[in-house]
């Protein structure tokens, strides 16, 4: 158990929601960052409170630096930051080739998935690094098996953004390893969340389930369990590592 604060971006739905609930169950004080759906974020907070946990919801579109700064200011008021889960992310319309992509789409995907994650990590390092007077902590970045597979004819821009997250995870882990901070990544496979619908193909994960060696899609809770394990002392000798949670895909 811990009384440290964990900031979870994209915490109102899917993997973020499951992680918020799992982290609260392990004693974390949870800051639920959400881009737009306040109702969903408030429901997560209420569910945590109903189990005697502590949580707050804070609006944060991670493509906006000003909102990231406000997110971490709220976390400062809530307690001592001990962890960040960089979960906020988007996909563009599925089934679009690179020769059909607009600059606006590519820039938005990169702004949310890459720049937003780096800026959130920057704020976490400022607070957790022993170099800055912090007490250490953990950063978990959400990548995707798309970083390895490339997502051809689906969303190569999203795959590229997650490849960047893999590189960032490894490099940042080396950078702050001597300052009490561990950095790890999670590469989810085909997971039953709303992200497929946001890409315009709500049944995509079920359509592709036959490609998974385990012959099924994963759940948000299975990803959340891996994340909170990485946040725990059970993973105390793990940094600059990326864990596939993908049914073998």
Q: Which helix (H) or strand (E) holds 22?
A: helix 14-25
> What stretch of H or E contains 243?
strand 241-245
Question: Which residues in 129-157 are b (16+ Cβ under 10 Å) and which e?
Answer: beeeebeebbbbbbbbbbbbbebeebbbb
Backbone angles phi, psi at 30, to 5 degrees: -105, 130
Candidate list 34, 158, 174, 237, residue with the active-site label: 158
Other Cβ atoms less than 10 A from the Cβ of 242: the count is 18
Q: For residue 6, what are the β-bridge partners?
A: 30, 83
- CA-based nearest residue to 124, from 20, 31, 57, 61: 31
Angle at which helices 14-25 and 220-231 cross, to 10°? 50
Rounded (10°) CA dihedral 128, 123, 57, 111: -140
User: 44-58 burial, b for 16+ CB within 10 Å, e for fewer?
Assistant: bbeebeeeebbbbbb
Is 155 marked active-site?
Answer: no
Q: Which residues contact 152 (CB under 8 A, 6 or more apart)?
A: none
- The answer to whether 187 and 244 have CB atoms below 8 angstroms apart is yes
Point out the residues that are catalytic. 158
């Amino acid at each position: 158990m811990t009384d440290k604060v964990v900031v979870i971006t994209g915490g109102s739905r899917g993997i973020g929601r499951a992680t918020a609930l799992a982290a609260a169950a392990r004693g974390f004080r949870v800051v639920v960052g959400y881009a737009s759906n306040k109702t969903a974020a408030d429901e997560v907070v209420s569910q945590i409170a109903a189990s005697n946990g502590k949580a707050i919801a804070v609006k944060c579109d991670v493509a906006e630096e000003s909102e990231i700064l406000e997110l971490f200011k709220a976390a400062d008021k809530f307690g001592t930051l001990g962890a960040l889960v960089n979960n906020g992310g988007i996909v563009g319309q599925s089934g679009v080739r690179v020769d059909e992509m607009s600059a606006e789409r590519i820039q938005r995907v990169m702004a949310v998935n890459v720049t937003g994650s780096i800026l959130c990590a920057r704020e976490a390092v400022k607070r957790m690094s022993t170099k800055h007077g912090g007490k250490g902590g953990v950063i978990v970045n959400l990548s995707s098996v798309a970083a390895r597979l490339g997502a051809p004819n689906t969303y190569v821009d999203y795959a590229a953004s997650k490849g960047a997250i893999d590189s960032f995870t490894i490099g940042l882990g080396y950078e702050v390893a001597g300052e009490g901070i561990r950095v790890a990544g999670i590469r989810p496979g085909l997971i039953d969340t709303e992200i497929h619908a946001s890409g315009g193909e709500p049944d995509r994960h079920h359509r592709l389930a036959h490609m998974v060696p385990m012959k099924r899609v994963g759940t948000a809770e299975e990803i959340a369990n891996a994340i909170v394990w990485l946040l725990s002392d059970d993973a105390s000798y793990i940094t600059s590592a990326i864990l596939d949670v993908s049914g073998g895909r």
